[in-house]
Amino acid sequence: MKNNIKVQRAIANLTQEELAKLVSVSRQTINAMEANKYVPSTVLSLKIARVFQKPVEEIFFLQEED
């Protein structure tokens, strides 16, 4: 699963640390998600979508090999 968290963070002018605090995870978790090394839980995905006020599908998406 891919995501555009980094782009959404830039639009919202948030650092990894700020986003992490808003969704109650570590900065390292946000970093790992942005590097596509960590697939978040459904709950975390929904929290991130809520922060950016976007549908989950606009932030997270499947690729053909998924």
* Domain map (residue ranges) of the chain: 2-61
Beta bridge partners of 65: none
- The model's pLDDT over 11-51, given as tens digits with 9 standing for 90+, comes to 999 999 999 999 999 999 999 999 999 999 999 999 999 99
Q: Confidence class of residue 66 from pLDDT cuts 50, 70 and 90?
A: low
φ, ψ for residue 63 (rounded to 5)? -105, 165
Find out whether 15 and 5 touch, Cβ atoms under 8 Å: no
Quote the CA–CA distance of 12 and 65 in Å, as a whole number: 30
Domain 2-61 classification at class level:
mainly alpha
Which has the minimum average pLDDT: 1-5, 19-23, 62-66?
62-66
pLDDT of res. 6: 98
Sequence-distant (≥ 6) Cβ neighbours of residue 33 within 8 angstroms? 3, 5, 39, 40
Question: Beta-strand (E) ranges in the chain?
Answer: 2-3, 60-61
| Global pTM value | 0.92
